[in-house]
């Protein structure tokens, strides 16, 4: 049985990926510092899969803690590295926190990969590396422009660090998955996106507003050059996204990669505006959302959506689930979590 280490595995995408891996018969070991997730997620994963992953509470920023963990646990077939801060707006306000956390933790892991010769690395990258692309849909060969936020910059720098590291360690391999905007929840509603404190991302803010936890959703920016003036993103169902990780891990383990550092866009190929998303949420849930239109949020780009043909060609991966399905699953998870009938 292949053994996979998932950093940030109790978080949103990490937990969904853990479920998919366990379902595919991989042995999963999670490390997380629980800064934006709860330990109960492990039991939730067990409710879905029947298996509880191994878990260690590790702060990957702490080199000694990380090194001590790897001293005992180093027989992994692959590492999937999710652990990172991820909010664009917050990164504008707290840039050092983002650079320190997202980059030091990455380097602490890579040094242990080298030390213990763990060959395969899947990195949680982001479409944010493209900044505001000149051409849409954006392909993997689009120029990497100056990032619009410190968060985006951490993902650009992280990809460079990985490339330089792999150039120096030819026996190691990596796939960076450039996610577009992950939303939704597992169909069982046992896991989902449950940020601690005020949500930064759109969909948890929407579901918490619908649940009465937040008074009002603010729609940031109505003067973008789009059909309704609100910003456009490519919203991808988190379970589709999680499944892309399984294919990436399998490709690396089977040595099917074409070079030792690969990059794939993981999105639906379709852009939706913030207002379209709100309207779809209202339609599928039958609820009325309390929202207002406000000014732009610093660090946001206007529009982006993915060209996903490379992921299809190389990984045989394609998004299967719809926006409506994703929004309904997010709402179902919020309802169960809050005890709403
Ligand atoms: N938005 C609102 N109101 C809110 C929250 C968000 O109008 O309360 C808008 C944003 O301004 C943006 C859109 O909804 O136009 C999506 O915003 P999110 O915060 O949900 O997502 P981002 O596009 O800013 O960032 C997300 C992830 C990043 C990832 C990026 C890739 O947080 O990790 O998608 O596009 F890199």
pTM across the whole model = 0.97
Ligand 1 pocket test: pick from 206, 274, 330 the residue with the most ligand atoms within 8 Å of its Cβ. Answer: 274
Ligand 1: distance of its center to the CA of 274 in Å? 9
Residues with CB under 6 A from ligand 1: 86-88, 126-128, 180-181, 200-202, 205, 217-221, 231, 233, 274, 297, 300
Residue whose CA is at the smallest distance from ligand 1 atom 24: 88
Q: Strands 78-81, 291-294: parallel, antiparallel or unpaired by DSSP?
A: unpaired
In ligand 1, which atom is closest to the CA atom of 182?
Answer: 34
The per-residue pLDDT for range 173-232, each reduced to its tens digit, is: 999 999 999 999 999 999 999 878 889 899 999 999 999 999 999 999 999 999 999 999
What pLDDT, on a 0 to 100 scale, did the predictor assign at position 65? 98
Ligand 1 pocket test: pick from 300, 305, 327, 330 the residue with the most ligand atoms within 8 Å of its Cβ. Answer: 300
Ligand 1: distance of its center to the CA of 62 in Å? 29
Instruction: Clarify whether 151 is annotated catalytic.
Output: yes
Ligand 1: distance of its center to the CA of 77 in Å? 33
Residue whose CA is at the smallest distance from ligand 1 atom 3: 219
Ligand 1: distance of its center to the CA of 201 in Å? 5
Q: How confident is the prediction along the chain (341 residues), in pLDDT tens digits per residue?
A: 999 999 999 999 999 999 999 999 999 999 999 999 999 999 999 999 999 999 999 999 999 999 999 999 999 999 999 999 998 888 999 999 999 999 999 999 999 999 999 999 999 999 999 988 999 999 999 989 888 889 999 999 999 999 999 999 999 999 999 999 999 999 999 999 987 888 989 999 999 999 999 999 999 999 999 999 999 999 999 999 999 999 999 999 999 999 999 999 999 999 999 999 999 999 999 999 999 999 999 878 899 999 999 999 999 999 999 999 999 999 999 999 999 98
Residue whose CA is at the smallest distance from ligand 1 atom 18: 201
Per-residue b or e along 241-270, where b marks 16 or more CB atoms closer than 10 Å to that residue's CB:
bbbbbbbbbbbbbeeebeebbbbbbbbbbb
In ligand 1, which atom is closest to the CA atom of 274?
Answer: 14
Catalytic residue among 151, 179, 224, 235: 151
In ligand 1, which atom is closest to the CA atom of 232?
Answer: 15
Name residue 121's beta-bridge partners: 79, 174
What pLDDT, on a 0 to 100 scale, did the predictor assign at position 298? 82
Instruction: Report whether 193 contacts 238 (CB < 8 A).
Output: yes
H/E/C letters for each residue in the chain? CCEEEEECCCCHHHHHHHHHHHHCCCEEEEEECCCCCCCCHHHHHHHHHCCCCEEEECCCCCHHHHHHHHHHCCCCCEEEECCCCCCHHHHHHCHHHHHHHHHHHHHHHHHHHHHHCCCEEEEEEEHHHHCCCCCCCECCCCCCCCCCCHHHHHHHHHHHHHHHHHHHCCCCEEEEEEECEEECCCCCCCCCCCCCCCCCCHHHHHHHHHCCCCCCEEEECCCCCCCCCCCEECEEEHHHHHHHHHHHHHHHHCCCCCCCEEEEEECCCCCEEHHHHHHHHHHHHCCCCCEEEECCCCCCCCECCECCHHHHHHHCCCCCCCHHHHHHHHHHHHHHHHCCC
Cβ neighbourhood burial of 43 (10 Å; 0-12, 13-18, 19+): exposed
Distance between CA 99 and CA 84 in Å, rounded? 10
Residue whose CA is at the smallest distance from ligand 1 atom 30: 181
Ligand 1: distance of its center to the CA of 210 in Å? 18
Residue whose CA is at the smallest distance from ligand 1 atom 21: 201
């Amino acid at each position: 049985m292949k053994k996979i280490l998932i950093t940030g595995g109790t978080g949103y995408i990490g937990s969904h990926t853990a479920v998919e891996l366990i379902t595919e018969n991989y042995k999963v070991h999670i490390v997380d510092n629980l800064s934006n997730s709860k330990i109960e997620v492990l039991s939730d994963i067990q409710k879905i899969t029947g298996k509880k992953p191994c878990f260690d509470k590790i702060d990957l920023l702490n080199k000694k803690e990380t090194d001590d963990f790897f001293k005992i646990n180093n027989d992994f077939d692959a590492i999937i590295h999710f652990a990172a801060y991820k909010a664009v707006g917050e990164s504008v306000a707290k840039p050092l926190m983002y650079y320190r956390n997202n980059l030091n933790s990455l380097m602490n892991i890579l040094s242990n990969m080298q030390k213990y010769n763990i060959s395969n690395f899947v990195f949680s990258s982001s479409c944010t590396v493209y900044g505001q692309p000149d051409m849409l849909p954006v392909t993997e060969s689009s120029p990497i422009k100056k990032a619009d936020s410190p968060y985006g910059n951490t993902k650009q720098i992280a990809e460079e660090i990985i490339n330089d590291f792999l150039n120096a360690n030819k026996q190691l391999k990596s796939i960076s998955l450039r996610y577009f905007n992950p939303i939704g929840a597992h169909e069982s509603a046992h896991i989902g996106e449950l940020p601690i404190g005020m949500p930064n991302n759109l969909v948890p803010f929407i579901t918490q507003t619908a649940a009465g936890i937040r008074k009002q959703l603010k729609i940031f920016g109505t003067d973008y050059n789009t059909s309704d003036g609100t910003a456009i993103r490519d919203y991808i169902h988190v379970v589709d996204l999680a499944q892309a990780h399984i294919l990436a891990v399998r490709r690396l383990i089977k040595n099917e990669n074409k070079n030792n550092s690969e990059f794939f866009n993981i999105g639906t190929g379709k852009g939706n505006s913030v207002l379209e998303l709100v309207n779809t949420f209202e339609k599928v849930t039958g609820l009325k959302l309390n929202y207002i239109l406000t000014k732009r949020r610093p660090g946001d780009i206007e529009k982006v959506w993915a060209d996903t043909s490379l992921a299809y060609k190389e990984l045989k991966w394609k998004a299967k689930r719809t926006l409506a399905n994703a929004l309904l699953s997010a709402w179902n998870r919020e309802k169960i979590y809050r005890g709403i009938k």
